[in-house]
Amino acid sequence: MGVGHSRWATHGIPSEENSHPHFDCKGNFLVVHNGIIENYQELKNELKQKGHGFKSDTDTEIIPHLIENFAELGFEEAVKKAVGKLKGRYAIVALNRNSDKMIGVRRGSPLIVGVKNGVKDSDKREFFLASDIPAFLDHTNNVMYLDDEEMVVIDKNERSIKFHNLERREDVEKRLINIGWDAGQAEKNGFEHFMLKEIMEQKDTIMRALNQDVKSIGSMAEKINNAFGTFFTGCGTAGNVCLAGEYIFSKVAGKHINFIVSSEFPNYHHFLTDKTLLIAISQSGETADVLEAIEAAKKKRVKIMSLVNVMGSSLDRKSDYSFLIKAGPEKAVASTKAATSQLALITLLAYACAGKLNEGRRLLIETASKVNDMLNPRYEKHIRRLAEKIYKKDSMYIIGRSLNYPMALESAIKIQEVSYIHAQGFAGGELKHGPLALIDKGTPCIALVAEDEVKDDVISNAMEIKSRGGCIIGVAPENNEVFDYWIKVPDVGDASPIVNIIPVQILAYHLAVLRGCNPDYPKNLAKSVTVK
């Protein structure tokens, strides 16, 4: 039995003292923890008064001390009593030096059990507890999911596993689920970084996202059409996909859907009724802000539809209707293939809502095939050459309009998070209201262009930037005299966000590598953001 943990710092700086696991006074109980204990200060003061000493600035350290406090009840009961005192969202794993048991508890943050060698082969059974499946995918793809308020007790000697619901105070049975991913999918397969591997996988993943049951697409479209008030919610990249979805639904299906970023969604509760539909988009299905948004919606009896990548994730299980985007494990922190799969599925749903499912499917299959053509070594080299010209710049700006405005925002996230270059995306029309003041001689500005009704306006905005010294990088189906550097993308009509974001993903990747940054592990960020 052993534990290890990489913590995204919430309390105290990243340091040895603040690293997990944390121990009780005698070093008998140890705990690793994901999430935030909201009442830790109050509990810490109580424990200090009882004579407990603390070595770290973390909220986590109170948990082993609380277990120690109840130690005479036995390990399992002591953990139950200790977590009964905690407020907040968390997943913990606890060990006791004097016991052969490992105990996990989940409330709000993900905790998944991996089971190796199948349930019947009890002699050889091995168990893994992790917050995300790729952590143990090298060993097994058979999983059991803990729900909130559940505890799992793994006994090393008996090779047994037991689940207990802490609210109902009863043991519960769990199904063993094969998630269908294999370890090879979570390997680099010859690529230097996961990010580049995942960008290249878009040759297949977009097509996989489209492979949905026609009947369920039809019935989801009907639910969207019949809802009275529909919202999109998501965070970061998934949020940008939601905003693109807002435009796509408006343009393709004539349907008004509001995008509200998940961390703000609870503030919109006044507008929710039992006829509202909330469409949540998330790669991991574990983002705390998204889960809070759907909890706020559920309180108003809103129906939840979700687009997720991780089967069995909290969002998948808590949704009334859920679509898997089938992108396979996404390991790099920067979301790439999941984003284009989400875009493909949202576009398909918009066409289905407009009663034009076949037309939408044809467009997206053609888009997937054009993405396959784009992602060749020559294309990548062309973008790498651009990265070599601009990688020492401090700032970059990206403009787009209509469907490509959200992609300007997404381009900025991609560049910021992996290369640490200051990047900002704007709606082309907003430039004159402030951002133009930021343009200096040679400032790189990307214009995302499609063959659509706003093309001329974006080109005019690019001209405005150029007139003030900016260097224009055009991502567009056709070259234009305003472009200093042209990256060609196919003309795919309403699917343009998919093809326009891909070259920027490649550019962000090469900017990171040229600046000596590891694009797979950006500083200060986590793949699944399981804290508020």
Minimum CB separation of residue 188 from ligand F6R in Å reads 18
Q: 163 vs 194, which CB is nearer to ligand F6R? A: 194
For residue 3, the SS3 value is coil
Distances (CA, A) of 235 to 36, 205, 293, 414, 421: 19, 21, 11, 14, 21
- Which of 34, 96, 141, 287 is in the footprint of ligand F6R by CB under 6 A? 287
Number of helices (H), then strands (E), in the chain: 15, 21
- Name the phi and psi angles at 153, rounded to 5: -120, 120
- Which of 283, 306, 340, 496 is in the footprint of ligand F6R by CB under 6 A? 283
- Which of 115, 294, 413, 458 is in the footprint of ligand F6R by CB under 6 A? 413
Minimum CB separation of residue 236 from ligand F6R in Å reads 2
Minimum CB separation of residue 333 from ligand F6R in Å reads 6
Q: What residues contact 474, with CB distance under 8 A and at least 6 apart? A: 446, 447, 449, 462, 480, 482, 483, 485, 486, 487
For residue 390, the SS3 value is helix
Minimum CB separation of residue 339 from ligand F6R in Å reads 7
DSSP state at residue 187:
S
- Which of 60, 230, 276, 282 is in the footprint of ligand F6R by CB under 6 A? 282
Q: 65 vs 414, which CB is nearer to ligand F6R? A: 414
Minimum CB separation of residue 34 from ligand F6R in Å reads 15
Site string for ligand F6R, 231-270 (x = CB under 6 A): ----xxxx--------------------------------
Which residues on neighbouring strands pair with residue 486, listed in sequence order? 474
- Which of 200, 334, 396, 512 is in the footprint of ligand F6R by CB under 6 A? 334
The interaxial angle of helices 357-374 and 202-210, nearest 10 deg, is: 170
Q: What residues contact 213, with CB distance under 8 A and at least 6 apart? A: none
Q: 215 vs 523, which CB is nearer to ligand F6R? A: 523
Minimum CB separation of residue 289 from ligand F6R in Å reads 8
User: How far apart (Å, rounded) are the C-alpha atoms in residues 37 and 43?
Assistant: 10
Count of residues that interact with ligand F6R, criterion CB under 6 A: 15
Q: Check if the beta carbon of residue 241 is closer than 8 Å to that of residue 281.
A: yes
Closest CA to 105 of 157, 40, 23, 164: 164
- Which of 146, 278, 290, 352 is in the footprint of ligand F6R by CB under 6 A? 290
Minimum CB separation of residue 285 from ligand F6R in Å reads 7
Q: 96 vs 500, which CB is nearer to ligand F6R? A: 500
Per CB under 6 A, contacts with ligand F6R among 513-532 are 528-529
Q: 438: how many CB neighbours lie within 10 A of its CB?
A: 17
Q: 289 vs 494, which CB is nearer to ligand F6R? A: 289
Residue whose C-beta lies closest to ligand F6R: 236
Distances (CA, A) of 347 to 25, 199, 501: 56, 20, 15
> Does 335 contact ligand F6R by CB under 6 A?
yes
Tokens of 462: 């690019």
Minimum CB separation of residue 88 from ligand F6R in Å reads 20
Closest CA to 411 of 520, 497, 513: 497
Residue type, 129: L
Per CB under 6 A, contacts with ligand F6R among 197-236 are 235-236
- Which of 150, 316, 380, 417 is in the footprint of ligand F6R by CB under 6 A? 417
Minimum CB separation of residue 348 from ligand F6R in Å reads 19
Contacting positions for ligand F6R (CB under 6 A): 235-238, 282-284, 287, 290, 334-335, 413, 417, 528-529
